[in-house]
Structure 1
Amino acid sequence: MSRPKILVSGHIAWANKEVYELLEPFGDIVWLDGVPTRNDFKNVFLPQHPNIVGIYRHNSSSDRIGVYDKELVDMLPSSVKFIAHNGAGYDQIDVAACRARGIQVSNTPGAVDTATATTALYLLISCFRQFAKAELNARARNWKNGLLPAHDPDGKILGIVGYGGIGGVLAQRCRDSFGMKVIYYNPRPRTDAPAWAEYRPTLVQLLKEADVVSLHCPLREETRGLIGATEFEQMKKGAILINTARGAVVDEKAMIGALKSGHLYAAGLDVYPSEPHITEELYSFPNVTLLPHMGTETEESQKSMEVAAMKCLVKAFETGEIGNRVA
């Protein structure tokens, strides 16, 4: 009987050695190289590689075969039992379609915590101090022209929406560095949250109190458009919004309206609804800091994520239960 096959669906930048050290004991490694389209994946690649049991998935594979939506999941052979996704957010995988076919899905939450929290901290500081606009001024030899009055982050109230690993690291850094008061909203309190992180049972309560609202929730149907026109109205006048979660968690038109009215003092964005496209109007706001989804763009985090996803598959082959299971 032939050995199981493990598909590497997407890019591996830093842990190529670990692919063979960790995964090859459990099956033959096959790569997506040379598969330019979804049709080629379905009609050429899959027939050539029967008995795929586990899949390591990176978002880069979507450039060629698209996201793992229901159509793609349904074309996978019945032998597929596990998909280990490289990333904390797994909205590019239709987990309901996987569940219906008995395919377990995992993600890599802890591996992204520090790098993404660092990105959020940069956005927070830049928004308070207008550093993004100030740097553009310096590069254009405009010195301090057109800068609005800035603010210190010290002693302000940080509101975390989605207190997981990333939110927890950001909260600790803001408290330690700036003495910020931390409040958070989750569907339920976190038993592992420190005593100084105060739980708010409703999003409305958090929005009314926070000077900075930082988003760290996954993109699901219930969080799509979570922050819209009503929520911006509920924020303090002069509040700041930070988003390193997913672009679609925010109603972008409502955010632009809040920026135009001045109700929102500033926004720091690393994610957008239609990446890599950034809405043209956002470039016109000097008080908006824009990054091109830099959250985990470090060698250390990328390798940590790659290895974490592989270890999820190792656990799946050893025990029948994938590590960090989300579906």
Structure 2
Amino acid sequence: MSKPKVLVVGTILWAKKELQQLSSIATVISPDFSSREGFLKDVSQNHTDAFALLVTNGSKAGAFDRSVLGSLPKGLKYICCNGAGYDWIDVNAAFERGISVSHTPGAVDHGTATTALYLLLAAYRQFSYAEKNAREGRFLQDFPLAHDPEGKTIGIVGMGGIGKALARRVLPLGMKIIYHNRKPVSPEPDFPAEYKSSLDELLAEADVVSIHIPLNEYTKNSFGSAQFDKMKQGSVLINTARGGVIDQEALIKALESGKLYSAGLDVFPNEPEIDERLRKNDKITILPHVGTHTLESRYGMEMVVINNIRSAINDGQLLNQVPEQKGRK
């Protein structure tokens, strides 16, 4: 009996040895293509028997929308995505085709939470502006007093793995933790955290709001003017999730009006483009989506995606199937 065929769409950089070890149970092939059209042509001509795809975000195949999914081999059963975010895959269209999709939660928790912590500290203490001030040789000239995070209340929107990792990082700062999910975390967190069943209640109480929700059709631009209006005057916003979950115009308006004291942003709606109004705002800290830009995070993500492929072959199921598909028949 022939081994199932796994196509690597993109590049595995750090877990190459582990990828090679998959050859004991699968025929692993890395198609050579330079465009979305080239990928689809190669698959339709040479890999109609593909069993699974291992796909890296940002590959030349582009987004896996309904049209691409409809062009994939009929017998394809799995798409294993090398990334915690999977907004570039239409998971509902994949499910309709009988394709199960996995992602890499957990592997990104520490890197992203540390980035969120840095953004929180930088926003409160105005460290980015302070560094610019120092590099320009102005040394505290026109540099107003900032704020301490100690004693403040952080509202975490989405208490998943990253949210929990951030919560544990802010505890030593003496911050109060509140959070909002669709339902309380079960089992309860192993740290003091108060559940808010209403997002509005969280926004009214929090001094800083940190966003940790996925981008999908329901969450796109879901954090907008109405949500900013409910936040405290002079509060702080942190976003390490996806730029698209926040209405950027509403964010800029909140910054310009002073509703927000500051913000820390690692993600943007039109990456790699960053709106000039954000780039030129000295009050905020911006980063070029570096949340998982560490060797440890990238290796961990590649290991998770490879383990999902291995589980699909050996057990007929994924270790980290995306939530939108779990429990559906």
TM-score scaled by structure 2?
Answer: 0.95
Match for residue 29 of structure 1?
28
**1:143-162 residue pairs with structure 2 within 5 A?**
143-162=139-158
List runs of 5+ in structure 2 lacking aligned partners.
none
Output the amino acid matched with 2:267.
Answer: V
Comparing both structures, which one devotes a greater share of its residues to helix?
1
1:58 corresponds in structure 2 to: 56
Aligned-partner residue type, residue 79 of structure 2 = I
Instruction: Give 1:167's aligned residue.
Output: 163
* Among candidates 140, 154, 174, match of residue 179 of structure 1: 174
For residue 2 of structure 1, report the CA deviation from its aligned partner.
4.2
Aligned residue for 2:261, secondary structure, equals strand
Name 1:4's counterpart in structure 2: 4
Amino acid of the structure 2 residue aligned with 1:186 = N
Deviation string, structure 1 residues 147-202 (Cα, Å, up to 9, x no partner): 23200001110100000000001001101x20100000001110132361100001
Q: Which residue of 1 aligns with 2:20?
A: 20
Aligned to 1:254: 250
Structure 1 runs, 4 residues or longer, greater than 6 Å off: none
- Within 5 Å, which residues of 2 pair with 1:1-327? 2-21=2-21, 23-32=22-31, 34-61=32-59, 64-175=60-171, 177-192=172-187, 193-194=189-190, 196-326=192-322, 327=325
Q: After TM superposition, give the deviation of residue 236 of structure 1 in Å.
A: 0.2
Cα offset for 1:228?
Answer: 0.4
Give CA-to-partner distance per residue, 1:99-142, whole Å, 9 cap, x none: 00000001111100000000000000000000011111111212
> Identity over aligned residues, as a percent?
47
2:313 aligned partner, one-letter code: F
Superposed CA deviations along residues 213-250 of structure 1, whole A, max 9, x for unmatched, are: 00001112221112100110100001000000000110
Aligned residues: 322
Contact between 1:11 and 1:60, CA under 8 Å: does it hold in 2? no
The unaligned stretches of length 5 or more in structure 1 are none
How far the C-alpha of 1:13 sits from its partner, in A, is: 1.5
Output the TM-score relative to the length of structure 1: 0.96
Q: Distance in 1 between matches of 2:143 and 2:263?
A: 15
CA RMSD of aligned residues (A): 1.2
Task: Tell which deviates more after alignment, 223-232 or 256-265.
Answer: 223-232
Asked if 1 retains the 8 angstrom alpha-carbon contact of 2:4 and 2:313, the reply is no
